[in-house]
Structure 1
Amino acid sequence: DKKYASDKYKDIYTELSIVRAKADCDISRLKEQLKAATEALGEKSPENTPVSGYDIMKSKSNPDFLKKDRSCVSRQLRNIRS
């Protein structure tokens, strides 16, 4: 049982790390796009503008983007394990 729990923990931790890295990458890309779009409109940079965050813990349902990314994450996990 300990071995199973340990392996399960490692799998979940790996999956979480992959999802977090992907989210960080997406956030950086979106920030760059927002900055470029804002500058193109001739407005001041939104760097100091407060951004309301999405709290996944308060959500009652699974967001659509998580459903789409499951297969991608599964493939990444398989690649890491092998």
Structure 2
Amino acid sequence: MTQQKSEKLKALIAKGKWSYVLKHGVLGWGLPTAILWSTIMHFIDRIPFTESIFIALILFLAGGVLWGLFMWSFISREFNKMDKSGL
């Protein structure tokens, strides 16, 4: 299982930091969270979806960049640990 994890980490690292941030942070976390938040606000606070989605996209996509960068640093540390141990 460690070998499989190592291969997955190598593939992620090979694609690069900004590819990871865009795919997993912005598109994987920021966009779905913005849509979900806007939908919930529409039903709870009766805020029109079209009004809240613009604010949500700005805030949650920026948050997605931060989340992606945080996760990239975590993944890089894990990869470096595995690389040093010879796996």
Given the two structures, how large is their TM-score scaled by the length of structure 2? 0.41
Given the two structures, how large is their TM-score scaled by the length of structure 1? 0.43
